[in-house]
Amino acid sequence: MGLFRKIIGQTRKPEGFLGRVMLKGMNMGHAAMADWGFSQLPPVTPAKAVDLGCGCGRNAGELLKKYPQAHVTAIDYSELSVARAKAGNRAAIAEGRCEVKQGDVSDLPLPDSSFDLATAFETVYFWPGLDRCFGQVARILKPGGIFMICNESDGMDDTGKKYEGIIEGMKCHTAEQLETALKSAGFSKVTSVHHPSRPWITVIAGK
């Protein structure tokens, strides 16, 4: 396997030196897409928010900025990602505004009906069974809570399909596939937005 494939393969669960390289690249490379996703959120004032598959914690930090009244929890199943997210949000953690935990989205270590907002940036590609994982997200959201998914691939672009063939366990979903799975998991009022010039999608579901 070439170096490029080894680095790209770290997308799913960053580990070791190559994982650190990947996390740094993801932090910079996905910022514009994530900011576009944030701009699609409806007006909300969450008391508690959670970023699922938080990576290095950049988007958890953006949640803290966007909602200064909120407590933000960040979850990732990569030990390295958790360490980086803690380092990147150390001030908010010290202030008691942020918590970073290691966990699997198919069995979230979080209490029922405890969050107003959940976000997932560039991560559902790797979730092991959308119905089960989306069911877990529905479980931890309060009634009326919002779940936002933001993906760089709309499931039909050539780049996304290329990486599906390189990265083990990766599956790029269309907005329609995500909407169907969300409704099956108990979400309602599911809407999607496609970026006007890029294959980026944001899907927003209400509980």
Condensed to tens digits (0 to 9), the pLDDT of residues 166-189 reads 778 889 999 999 999 999 999 989
The answer to whether 153 touches 125, Cβ cutoff 8 Å, is yes
Averaged pLDDT for residues 152-161:
92
Q: What is the residue range of 166's domain?
A: 3-206
pLDDT exceeds 60 at position 22: no
Condensed to tens digits (0 to 9), the pLDDT of residues 41-100 reads 999 999 999 999 998 899 999 999 999 999 999 999 988 889 999 999 999 999 999 999
The answer to whether 10 touches 21, Cβ cutoff 8 Å, is yes
Helix axes of 79-88 and 16-29: crossing angle, nearest 10 degrees: 50
Q: Residue 197: give its domain's CATH number.
A: 3.40.50.150
pLDDT exceeds 70 at position 160: yes
Query: Burial level of 183, CB count in 10 A (0-12/13-18/19+)?
Result: middle
Number of independent structural domains in the chain: 1
Q: How many CB atoms lie within 10 A of CB 136?
A: 21
pTM of the model as a whole: 0.88
